[in-house]
Amino acid sequence: MGIARTAPGAARLPDGRVLIAGGYDGSDELASAEIFDPQTNSFSSAGVGSMAQKRSDLIAAPLPDGRVLVAGGFADGQALNSAEVFDPQTNSFGSAGIGSLGAARGDASGVALQDGRVLVAGGYGTDFLQTAEIYSATNTFASRSAARP
């Protein structure tokens, strides 16, 4: 990688490349991102924009339209509830119209569901979390209990 980083988010892009975003470099959280290309076995940050929010221990999950949801994490010792989306067509991040997590959470798990939604579960806010949220096509997060509506 171009920068040493621990606890970044990673998600596969539709063309097989992998987005690596954020993390911690030993002194601060990172807002930078780079892309791994398995065809060339190389990483590059050339032309890749930075996130609006520096963050480590974040979730990164692919969306059905090819973009990647980036949410939560930690910055300056605080859990985050912000979210943004990476667009591989423009190699940029944006948060316009993207909702926030209902609970600030870092070190959570995020996974794309078959129906295109993203489940964000657990993590740590001011304590360990046993809650989960669903990110949907409406660009919003909604809390979920064990029963599906």
**pLDDT tens figures, 71-127:** 999 999 999 999 999 999 999 999 999 999 999 999 999 999 999 999 999 999 999
Give the span between the Cα atoms of 26 and 35, in whole angstroms.
21
Which pTM was predicted? 0.94
pLDDT for 148: 47
Angstrom distances, CA of residue 123 to CA of 23, 69, 131? 16, 17, 9
Give the span between the Cα atoms of 103 and 111, in whole angstroms.
17
| Structure tokens that stand for 104 in this block | 């600030």
**pLDDT tens figures, 9-46:** 999 999 999 999 999 999 999 999 999 999 999 999 99
Mean pLDDT (the chain) is: 95
Beta-carbon contacts of residue 25 (< 8 Å; ≥ 6 apart):
3, 4, 5, 6
Residue 147 in this model has a pLDDT that exceeds 60 = no
Give the span between the Cα atoms of 2 and 47, in whole angstroms.
13
